[in-house]
Homo-oligomer: A and B are copies of this chain.
């Protein structure tokens, strides 16, 4: 079937996704998926829309243009993201999809949440790599999508391309998740590893920023907001938590963490920023992001630099751990692709 796609946000992940679609054309055809990109909205480089869909070489040119800092459409008069979604909504199609990868305000979840609402209201399925919508408004958005018979998918929101949401949904039927814990923020884990090796906090942070791993404003990472948003997202989806990142007990890392990390390492253990959720005996949920001292036998203790891992505790499977040894943009782009395949499967024949 033909799936018409509007890309809202055209940063590194979305551009890599466009390339991945092209590279995966044969595999997608075998799954009966013919993706047609009809619209692209960027934040600072204009936007474009074409009912017939863009050709592969045109898309490749857009990728190159934006990568080089140029615009894809006229700077003034370009349709806004919302106008573009309305045009998508007016198209006749087997399936209309918004693929959303805009920059996130993790406290408010905006503008991603508005984009998700707008897409659903015009009858488009939603695939987002943003954790905002699922961390801040999962129940409302999932209900809205279900009422309209649309899919709301977000595999790229946590642990890049590692298909954790798909894993639980598709391969753990009739299981009950009772808790999870994980090292889920790459910046703070890389910094902790660097500080163990002797760097101080400012040095480690500057190196992460130079490498493009940490943002210019690293607050979201080092204060634990990014990890808290991921904890809220998973708790909302798996444990019906109905929380936002503000409901997660949260602490981050500071210059003092360097001393702590080295002291812990000297004892044969590791200091890790662990995000966790646990259903207490009285039924209440305990949600937390905290710098913890882990035993050497803990599967989360041996994650170096950008590696991530998540332990999921369930009945009847017990504790399973998913570890991502190689992260990166490429993997988040792949998450968007897996969501596209999941969407196709739901459409039926």
Chain A contacts to B: CB under 8 angstroms: 20, 24, 27-28, 31, 161-163, 166-167, 170-175, 296-299, 301-302, 304, 309, 311, 316-328, 330-331, 333-334, 337-338, 341, 348-349
Q: A334 contacts which of B27, B317, B331, B338 (Cβ < 8 Å)? A: B317
Contact between A323 and B321 (Cβ–Cβ < 8 Å)?
Answer: yes
Contact between A161 and B331 (Cβ–Cβ < 8 Å)?
Answer: no
Contact between B323 and A323 (Cβ–Cβ < 8 Å)?
Answer: yes
Contact between B299 and A173 (Cβ–Cβ < 8 Å)?
Answer: no
Q: A316 contacts which of B163, B167, B319, B330 (Cβ < 8 Å)? A: B330
Contact between B319 and A326 (Cβ–Cβ < 8 Å)?
Answer: yes
- Which residue of B is nearest A318, CB measured? B326
Contact between A304 and B297 (Cβ–Cβ < 8 Å)?
Answer: yes
Q: A173 contacts which of B167, B331, B333, B337 (Cβ < 8 Å)? A: B337
Contact between B321 and A320 (Cβ–Cβ < 8 Å)?
Answer: no
Residue numbers in B under 8 Å from A20 (CB-CB): 316
Additional 12 contacts, C-beta under 8 A, given A172-B338, A296-B296? A20-B316, A163-B167, A163-B172, A173-B341, A174-B337, A299-B323, A299-B325, A316-B334, A317-B326, A318-B328, A319-B325, A320-B322
Q: A302 contacts which of B27, B297, B317 (Cβ < 8 Å)? A: B297
- Which residue of B is nearest A24, CB measured? B174
- Which residue of B is nearest A311, CB measured? B325
Contact between A31 and B173 (Cβ–Cβ < 8 Å)?
Answer: yes
C-alpha gap A9/B236 in the complex (Å): 41
Residue numbers in B under 8 Å from A297 (CB-CB): 302, 304
Residue numbers in B under 8 Å from A172 (CB-CB): 163, 338
Contact between B316 and A320 (Cβ–Cβ < 8 Å)?
Answer: no
Contact between B317 and A331 (Cβ–Cβ < 8 Å)?
Answer: yes
C-alpha gap A6/B55 in the complex (Å): 53
C-alpha gap A203/B166 in the complex (Å): 44
Residue numbers in B under 8 Å from A322 (CB-CB): 320-323
C-alpha gap A321/B167 in the complex (Å): 13
C-alpha gap A309/B325 in the complex (Å): 14
Q: How far is the CB of A276 from chain B (nearest CB, A)?
A: 15
Residue numbers in B under 8 Å from A299 (CB-CB): 299, 302, 323, 325
- Which residue of B is nearest A166, CB measured? B171
Residue numbers in B under 8 Å from A333 (CB-CB): 316
CB<8 Å pairs between A and B, sample of 5: A161-B317, A301-B302, A318-B324, A320-B325, A321-B322
C-alpha gap A338/B311 in the complex (Å): 20
Residue numbers in B under 8 Å from A309 (CB-CB): 321
Residue numbers in B under 8 Å from A321 (CB-CB): 309, 321-323, 325
Residue numbers in B under 8 Å from A330 (CB-CB): 316
- Assuming the A-B contacts A171-B170, A172-B338, A348-B349, are A162 and B304 also in contact, with contact meaning beta carbons closer than 8 angstroms in the complex? no
- Assuming the A-B contacts A167-B167, A174-B28, are A162 and B320 also in contact, with contact meaning beta carbons closer than 8 angstroms in the complex? yes
Q: How far is the CB of A288 from chain B (nearest CB, A)?
A: 21
Q: How far is the CB of A129 from chain B (nearest CB, A)?
A: 15
- Assuming the A-B contacts A27-B174, A163-B172, are A318 and B323 also in contact, with contact meaning beta carbons closer than 8 angstroms in the complex? no
Residue numbers in B under 8 Å from A323 (CB-CB): 299, 320-323
Residue numbers in B under 8 Å from A348 (CB-CB): 348-349
